[in-house]
Amino acid sequence: MFEKTNLLINCDICDTRKIKEDDYSHYKGIMLNTDTIIVSEKSKSIFNRLPIEANYDNEIALPDDAGTPNLKTVNGPYKITGQTVQPDTDENTILVVNGPLTIEPGTETVLKKYLRIVANGPVKYPQSLESCLDKMAINGPVSTYPDGYVLLGDNFIIDKYFILRARENGRYYVDNTVIIPDMSVDTAALAGKIRFAAKKAVLPEKAVSDASKIFDESTTFVVIPEGMKLICDDSVLNQKLITVNGGNLFIYGDLEVDKDADMEALLPQIQKLIVKGTVSLRANQEEAFCKLNAEFDKLEIIRDCRRFSNAVRVYLDKTIFDNSPNGIEVCNSADVVIAEDVTPEMILDKLSVSNCARVKCGSDQESSVAAVATNVANIGSSADNGGMMGALKDFAHTKVINADSYIM
């Protein structure tokens, strides 16, 4: 009697609607790796009766009598405009966007040409097109913008020359924040010429009256008190920052106190400090910083710990722990391996792990790792033996199919 074989299918798009159970029931196991799987009610029922493990990003349900679609995949930002080329957007095309998708006004005809649109990321479209998006599957945040507005991106700084470039009665949309850095901007002239739609506006105190005619009531004003210098970025508090910008600082962003900063020397030079973000400093700087009576959203104490970031593999043993008195931080790494000589108590006391694929550790270490881990997919002694690689190890006798598209 012949030993049953396995089937491994790797493809961009897999159409399962014509699947016949008899064609695949003789396989011991079937692994399907695809970006997009097309199903019907009938094929889903057959799938459940077969030994199939399917790994896919997008599932699209289509009628059995619909033709086999073309797949257009975009990895990164994509914009659908009225001038989007249409020869490749016939009624049989599925568009998959792995990134931000922006849809501009006047695109009704283009949208109707797609069989489906799958957006794995944020989607932004004009309010008038809401009824045209019944073909879309959106895996991400959705935002709309008013019709007739020009898109200017996430954030926009109005400089003194914008008045020369702005259109008369122009309408402009900004996703997040519009910034008027200082009174060199003629806000009175802008008030009679343009309108903005935005979540927030950062502006000088003297510009508030004019700005009320530029922005509608849904925009939140973040007001820079008179005499303060706006710094619209994450900054470091040190002597250079004060020398360049003076002692009245309005930080729209996060502020880190330089680890080598002499706070006692800086104190007399700072008259007022407002931080619209997080202030980060060391524990030995906190007492002096509090004497500033600064305004801020959040205070964070920095540990001068040992950091491992963006590494393929991080190996942590007792020697590393013993020589890291301020702790160990591991982030954005693929594999983290913890040696047997590291005790659970050492893990709890000194380690933090975030945004890593897997942590390999002993069974006695698992609960401690779980307590200090954030966004870690796999923790344990079998962390490198499970999932896809573990399944493939069983595929000693395997038929492999690699294709752009595959019809089951």
Contact call for residues 14 and 408 (beta carbons, < 8 A): yes
pLDDT, residue 273, reads: 97
How many angstroms separate the CA atoms of 190 and 240, rounded?
A: 35
Burial of 330 (0-12, 13-18, 19+ CB in 10 A): buried
Specify the residue for token string 């019809």. 407
Read out DSSP for 20-76? -HHHHTT-SEEEEEEEEEEE-HHHHHHHHHS-EEEEEEEEEE--TTSPPPEEEEEES
- Stronger pLDDT, 81 or 367, i.e. the higher one: 367
Mean pLDDT in the chain? 87
What pLDDT is attached to residue 385? 45
pLDDT of residue 390: 47
**Is residue 405 predicted with pLDDT exceeding 90?**
no
Task: Give the pLDDT of residue 3.
Answer: 65
Query: Quick check: 392 pLDDT over 70?
Result: no
Sketch the domain layout of the chain as residue ranges. 6-67+395-407, 70-145, 151-224, 229-301, 306-385
**Is-contact 179 207, C-beta < 8 A?**
no
DSSP state for residue 168 in the 8-state scheme: T
More confident residue, 156 or 357: 156
The continuous run of DSSP H or E covering 315 comes out as strand 313-316
Mean pLDDT within 363-371? 94
Q: Summarize pLDDT for 331-355 with one digit per residue, the tens.
A: 888 889 999 999 999 999 999 998 8
pLDDT at 67 over 80: no
Tokens coding 138: 């959106």
Q: What is the pLDDT of residue 396?
A: 53
SS3 at position 138: strand
- The whole-number average pLDDT for the span 247-264 is 93
Residue 202's alpha-carbon distances to 181, 215, 253, 271, 331, in angstroms, are: 8, 12, 12, 21, 33
Q: How many CA atoms lie within 13 A of 214 on its CB side?
A: 32
- pLDDT of 331: 87
Asked if pLDDT for residue 130 goes beyond 90, the answer is no
Which residues lie closer than 8 Å to 244 by C-beta, 6 or more apart? none
pLDDT digits over 86-124, tens only?
544 456 788 888 899 999 888 888 888 888 888 888 999
Helix (H) or strand (E) holding 178: strand 177-179
Q: For 155-191, how does the pLDDT look when each residue is reduced to its tens digit (9 = 90+)?
A: 999 999 999 999 999 999 999 999 999 999 999 999 9
Whether the per-residue pLDDT at 383 is higher than 50: the answer is no
Distance of alpha carbon 110 from alpha carbon 252, whole angstroms: 40
Name the band, by pLDDT with cuts 50, 70 and 90, for residue 323: very high
Whether 204 and 224 have beta carbons less than 8 Å apart is answered as yes
pLDDT in tens, 193-217: 999 999 999 999 999 999 999 998 9
With H, G, I as helix, E, B as strand and everything else as coil, classify residue 97: strand
Q: Which of 294, 234, 233 is nearest to 263 (CA)?
A: 294
Q: How far is CA 21 from CA 67, 254, 364, in A?
A: 21, 59, 45
- Kindly report the pTM of this predicted structure: 0.64
Q: Check residue 189 and give its pLDDT.
A: 93
CA–CA separation, 87 and 84 (whole Å): 9
pLDDT of residue 84: 65
Write phi, then psi, for 86 (nearest 5 degrees): -100, -15
Q: What pLDDT is recorded for position 91? A: 63
Instruction: Give residues with Cβ within 8 angstroms of 396, minimum separation 6.
Output: none
